[in-house]
Chain A
Amino acid sequence: GIQVEQSPPDLILQEGANSTLRCNFSDSVNNLQWFHQNPWGQLINLFYIPSGTKQNGRLSATTVATERYSLLYISSSQTTDSGVYFCAAAMFSGGYNKLIFGAGTRLAVHP
């Protein structure tokens, strides 16, 4: 099945810094989503981005489907950005589009 790899696994930032998180996937995908899991476990949808570039405030994402990777950019980081960032790629299997999650990037933003 499809493999989803995220890097870096851990990231420590000073408030105000910028960062780039990477997601590589091993096969063609129907869908790619980025999530932020907050300390209470809730997954918050950041981007649905099977291809192209999207921006939402201080966050933006780019997926290059032909080269099988996606990037999440966080600018001017804030302490509230701390948490785990997951990317998940969808593959069609068994009649359904299933999301396969990467291992996540654990981000800590210090004041």
Chain B
Amino acid sequence: GAVVSQHPSWVICKSGTSVKIECRSLDFQATTMFWYRQFPKQSLMLMATSNEGSKATYEQGVEKDKFLINHASLTLSTLTVTSAHPEDSSFYICSAKGGSSYNEQFFGPGTRLTVL
């Protein structure tokens, strides 16, 4: 149980375009979903937290107009990187918590974004 999927697993896009990443909890209803960013050989940094049906809460320094988060249902959250630039290239990972293991977070496999 507690499986989280992400799609796509990797994406290459041109500078100036927008990219949408999906995060789904497959076998539980996620009360809260989280989006992280990880640069090479570094740790995970929390970008934002979202609950279904409400606006996301962004961490300090994260541009909410650039990283749009939509938490449409208890099993789906999306992150849209708008007007992507090369410095947005990174590994984006989502996590979800809920179900029987209420306080434990489970992570998706990540999405590697490369902006040319």
Given contacts A41-B91, A86-B43, A103-B43, contact A96 B105 (CB under 8 A): no
Measured between beta carbons, the chain A residues less than 8 angstroms from B32 are 96
Q: Interface size of B by Cβ–Cβ distance < 8 Å?
A: 23
Query: Is B28 an interface residue, CB under 8 A from the partner?
Result: no
Mask for B1-20, Cβ within 8 A of A = 1, else 0? Answer: 01000000000000000000
Given contacts A48-B101, A86-B43, A102-B43, contact A96 B93 (CB under 8 A): no
Query: Is A73 an interface residue, CB under 8 A from the partner?
Result: no
Query: Is B115 an interface residue, CB under 8 A from the partner?
Result: no
> Which residue of B42, B93, B112 is within 8 Å of A43 (Cβ)?
B93
Min CB–CB distance A61 → chain B (angstroms): 13
Cα–Cα distance between A50 and B29 once the two chains are bound (Å): 23
Query: Is B67 an interface residue, CB under 8 A from the partner?
Result: no
Mask for A86-102, Cβ within 8 A of B = 1, else 0? Answer: 10101000111111111
Query: Is A19 an interface residue, CB under 8 A from the partner?
Result: no
Q: In the complex the two chains form, is B44's CB within 8 Å of A101's CB? A: yes
> What is the chain B residue whose CB lies nearest that of A90?
B103
Cα–Cα distance between A33 and B101 once the two chains are bound (Å): 12
Given contacts A86-B43, A96-B57, A98-B49, contact A43 B104 (CB under 8 A): no
Given contacts A95-B57, A99-B34, contact A45 B106 (CB under 8 A): yes
Q: A40-B109, A48-B104 are known contacts; what are 18 more A-B pairs with Cβ within 8 Å? A: A31-B104, A33-B104, A33-B105, A41-B109, A43-B93, A43-B95, A43-B107, A45-B2, A45-B106, A86-B44, A90-B103, A98-B49, A99-B34, A99-B46, A99-B95, A99-B105, A101-B43, A101-B45
- 29 of the cross-chain contacts (CB-CB < 8 Å) are A33-B104, A33-B105, A35-B107, A41-B91, A41-B110, A42-B107, A42-B109, A42-B110, A43-B93, A43-B107, A45-B2, A45-B104, A45-B107, A48-B104, A86-B43, A86-B44, A88-B44, A94-B49, A96-B32, A96-B49, A96-B57, A98-B49, A99-B95, A100-B46, A101-B44, A102-B43, A103-B42, A103-B43, A104-B43
